[in-house]
């Protein structure tokens, strides 16, 4: 037998008997004509022993990205673009608008006076505010003003438009689940038929009704998404501060708080897990890995993240991605605050999620 180590089209290595394969080749050709293919040539790559993400660790410093956002403003209006967004493409997944196989990340920039017109789609979105103030998003008939560090949700199939009423640019991180929607061929979208949607609830209504650990008697949730659609940074920051006084930091995560839907106690979004964590100054984490590829956006503080043997120094407004099953550690040179999102909630619902603490 003439055994060889070969790399198949799918990029995995296996032992192949070249002569036997050559003899089978006419069969493969005839089968292919009928759209039939032999599983034994691809099985190892289809059902891997461990997660093998095609994504790689990557980091973007805001000072590098911001000039491109400004240049985008010179070359296209929000009106023409519909959404003026620069997409973070994972270097392992070029040209696919993916930061991980399942998730989208982009920076949206909106200038004073501009409006991003109302539309709705099955894909859910999160906004995490990076720079600017006095810009709003309107979701399902209610407007909310946004500030840096705010976490804002656009639930599936809700009308949403964005506008900037300030005198400076507004930049936020868009996180969307459209790759999950598209995997299942379940996407719909439509325009509102008018630039801005009609508002029928006063600003702050959602937070007043559902954001104080109480729910109105007879409350019926409108969807599986949290009815709180803006989690203000002020409150989140305060919660982290308080918790850092009452609990010891987790050895892997520091002080990490997950955003929850107050109606269910579960994650704030049905398809995207979101969290904010405080790494105290001098904190050095234990290694951690999970099957949920995660995107981090730094709010405050400097430090270093190590992902496998790749190291990135992070600073405020840095963005980095940790792919599935890559071990990660943090070192915080200053008190650091990190927002993050992942597909963990989807994996948990499907019994896929796995995590491992420490070095094994
Ligand atoms: O603001 O509705 O980054 O529909 C990508 C698709 C933002 C949005 C994105 C979208 C939006």
Q: Where are the domains of the chain?
A: 3-46, 58-210, 230-357
> pLDDT-derived band of residue 79, with 50, 70 and 90 as boundaries?
confident
Q: What is the pLDDT of residues 213-268, one digit of tens each?
A: 999 999 999 999 999 999 999 999 999 999 999 999 999 999 999 999 999 999 99
DSSP code of residue 87: E
pLDDT at 360: 64
Q: Is the CB of 142 under 6 A from ligand 1?
A: no
pLDDT at 180: 98
Q: What is the pLDDT of residues 272-295, one digit of tens each?
A: 999 999 999 999 999 999 999 999
d(CA 31, CA 69): 50
Compute the average pLDDT of residues 306-329.
Answer: 98
pLDDT at 231: 98
Mean pLDDT, the chain, whole residue set: 95
Q: Which residue minimizes the CA distance to atom 9 of ligand 1?
A: 174
Is the model's pLDDT at 122 over the cut of 60? yes
Q: Is the CB of 181 under 6 A from ligand 1?
A: no
Compute the average pLDDT of residues 21-41.
Answer: 97
Of 152, 176, 272, the residue with max ligand 1 atoms within 8 A of its CB, to mutate for a pocket test, comes to: 176
pLDDT at 158: 98
CATH architecture of the domain with residue range 58-210: Sandwich (2.60)
Q: Is 349 left (phi over 0), alpha (psi -120 to 50) or beta?
A: alpha
Compute the average pLDDT of residues 116-122.
Answer: 96
Q: Is 194 left (phi over 0), alpha (psi -120 to 50) or beta?
A: left
> pLDDT-derived band of residue 102, with 50, 70 and 90 as boundaries?
very high
Q: Is the CB of 319 under 6 A from ligand 1?
A: no
The CATH number fitting domain 230-357, selected from 3.40.50.2000, 3.30.360.10, 3.40.50.300, 2.60.120.10: 2.60.120.10
Question: Of 14-23, 270-279, 312-321, which gets the smallest average pLDDT?
Answer: 14-23
Compute the average pLDDT of residues 308-320.
Answer: 98
Of 79, 86, 87, 108, the residue with max ligand 1 atoms within 8 A of its CB, to mutate for a pocket test, comes to: 108
- Domains 58-210 and 230-357 fall in the same CATH topology: yes
Query: Which of 324, 319, 310 has its CA nearest to residue 338?
Result: 319
List residues bridging with 283 in a β-sheet: none
Q: Is the CB of 158 under 6 A from ligand 1?
A: no
Residue whose tokens read 């560090």: 149
Q: Is the CB of 106 under 6 A from ligand 1?
A: yes
Of 72, 81, 83, the residue with max ligand 1 atoms within 8 A of its CB, to mutate for a pocket test, comes to: 83
pLDDT at 1: 54
Is the model's pLDDT at 10 over the cut of 60? no
SS3 21: helix
Ligand 1 atom closest to the Cα of residue 119 is 2
d(CA 112, CA 77): 12
Q: Is the CB of 114 under 6 A from ligand 1?
A: no
Tokens of 9: 């089209």
> pLDDT-derived band of residue 139, with 50, 70 and 90 as boundaries?
very high
Q: Which residue minimizes the CA distance to atom 3 of ligand 1?
A: 174
């Amino acid at each position: 037998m003439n055994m060889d180590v070969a790399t198949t089209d799918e990029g995995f290595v296996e032992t192949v008997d070249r002569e036997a394969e050559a003899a089978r080749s006419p069969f493969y050709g005839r089968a292919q004509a009928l759209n039939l293919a032999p599983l034994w040539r691809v099985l190892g790559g289809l059902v891997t022993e461990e997660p093998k993400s095609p994504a790689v660790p990557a980091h973007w410093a805001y000072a590098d990205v911001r000039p491109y956002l400004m240049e985008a403003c010179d070359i296209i209006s929000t009106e023409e673009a519909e959404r003026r967004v620069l997409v973070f493409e994972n270097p392992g997944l070029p040209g696919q608008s993916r930061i991980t196989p399942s998730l989208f990340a982009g920076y949206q920039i909106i200038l004073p006076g501009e409006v991003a017109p109302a539309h709705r789609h099955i894909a859910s979105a999160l906004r995490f505010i990076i720079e600017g103030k006095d810009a709003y998003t309107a979701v399902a008939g209610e407007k909310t003003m946004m500030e840096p560090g705010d976490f804002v949700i656009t639930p599936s199939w809700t009308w949403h438009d964005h506008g900037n009423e300030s005198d400076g640019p507004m930049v936020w991180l868009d996180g969307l689940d459209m790759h999950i929607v598209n995997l299942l061929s379940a996407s719909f979208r439509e325009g509102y038929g008018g630039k801005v949607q009609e508002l029928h609830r006063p600003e702050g209504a959602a937070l007043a009704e559902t954001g104080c650990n109480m729910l109105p008697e007879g409350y019926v949730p409108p969807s599986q998404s949290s009815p709180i659609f803006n989690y203000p940074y002020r409150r989140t920051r305060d919660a982290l501060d308080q918790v850092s006084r009452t609990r010891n930091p987790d050895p892997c995560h520091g002080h990490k708080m997950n955003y929850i839907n107050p109606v269910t106690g579960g994650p704030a979004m049905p398809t995207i897990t979101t969290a904010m964590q405080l790494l105290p100054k001098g904190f050095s984490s234990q290694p951690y890995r999970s099957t949920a590829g995660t995107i981090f956006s730094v709010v405050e503080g400097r430090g270093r993240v190590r992902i496998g043997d790749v190291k990135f120094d992070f600073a405020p407004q840095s963005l980095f991605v940790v792919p599935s099953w890559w071990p990660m550690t943090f070192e915080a040179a200053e008190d650091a605050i990190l927002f993050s999102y992942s597909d963990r909630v989807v994996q948990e619902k499907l019994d896929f999620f796995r995590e491992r603490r420490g070095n094994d």
